[in-house]
Amino acid sequence: MIFRMSKVENPIGVFDSGVGGLSVLRAMRALMPNENMIYLGDQGHVPYGPRPMEEIQKFSERITRFLLKQNSKLIVVACNTASAAALTYLRKQFPEVTFVGMEPAVKPAAETTRTGRVGVLATPATFQGALYASVVERFGTAVELFQNTCPGLVGQIEKGELTSTATRSILEDALGPMLEKNIDTVVLGCTHYPFVIPLIEQIVGKNVRVIDPAPSVARQAKRLLEAAGMLNQSGERGAVRFLTSGDPASMKSLLPLLLGSQGEVQPFVWKGDREI
């Protein structure tokens, strides 16, 4: 395991196709405020959702290599799509590294639904992957699942449009038919979507539970670090370094809206087969 070669003050590496993983980073910061973190948003390639699995694997591998070069002690794949397409692949490519990945939270939904009907919002690649099929097989057979890929929603969130009419109408199109089927739970199977929870709650009303998986992913990361004796307990607030393969100015301008704080964003440049 990579832990053995690491120091507690080494950063946790976190990545996503764009700004979605910031919903996971936010939960991790709240739970583990002393940890240093590196966040990489692959905005040069967002969205991942409609891309072929092999391509998402290639991007995830190169990002992981970069995060390891920065001495990451743990890698959090803060993206359901990259987890669905590449987590098994990454674990094979980097057997010495500890990864935390994501899967749609069908299990807690199935355990608490009263109507037995659950909506799942995620990207096309997440629904197509073997990971989702296995989640459904393990936890979803006793409930009825209604899936929607919310076309265009990731792009809206990347633009910071959390409350616009266009964003609302994508969500209404996705959730309307599910509400007609009497769902009482909505699983957010994409890390971008927690940023529009207020809008989702306006549409579905008080009687529908909305599940954001970020806090449980943060708890899992903390558990692994604790078990390995690698939790940073320095007492000082950890630093976060942000990088994007897209436009640093644009990510920087979104940080206050999405994280509630400012930050500098550095460019991450893909060049040939290497990142610089």
Beta carbons within 10 angstroms of residue 141's beta carbon: 9
Should residue 154 be labelled a site residue for ligand DGL when binding is judged by CB under 6 A? yes
Closest separation between CB of residue 234 and ligand DGL, Å?
30
Rg for the chain (alpha carbons), in Å? 18
Residue from 11, 20, 119, 213 binding ligand DGL (CB under 6 A):
20
Distance CA 160, CA 180 (A): 29
Should residue 147 be labelled a site residue for ligand DGL when binding is judged by CB under 6 A? no
Should residue 214 be labelled a site residue for ligand DGL when binding is judged by CB under 6 A? no
Should residue 47 be labelled a site residue for ligand DGL when binding is judged by CB under 6 A? yes
- In 27-157, the DSSP E strands lie at 37-41, 74-77, 99-100, 117-121, 144-148
Q: What is the largest CA-CA distance in the chain?
A: 53
Should residue 43 be labelled a site residue for ligand DGL when binding is judged by CB under 6 A? no
Q: For residues 2 and 46, which CB has a smaller minimum distance to ligand DGL in the complex? A: 46
Closest separation between CB of residue 18 and ligand DGL, Å?
6
Pick out residues in 123-142 that bind ligand DGL (CB under 6 A). 123, 126
Closest of 146, 122, 115, 101 to residue 48, by C-alpha:
122
Q: Judged by CB under 6 A, how many residues of this single chain contact ligand DGL?
A: 17
- Cα–Cα–Cα angle for 100, 143, 107, rounded to 5 degrees: 20
Binding mask 67-106 for ligand DGL (x = CB under 6 A): ------------xxx-------------------------
Establish how many alpha carbons lie within 13 A of residue 191's alpha carbon, considering only the half-sphere containing its beta carbon.
36
Catalytic residue IDs:
79, 190
Which residues contact ligand DGL (rule: CB under 6 A)?
A: 16-18, 20, 46-49, 79-81, 123, 126, 154, 190-192
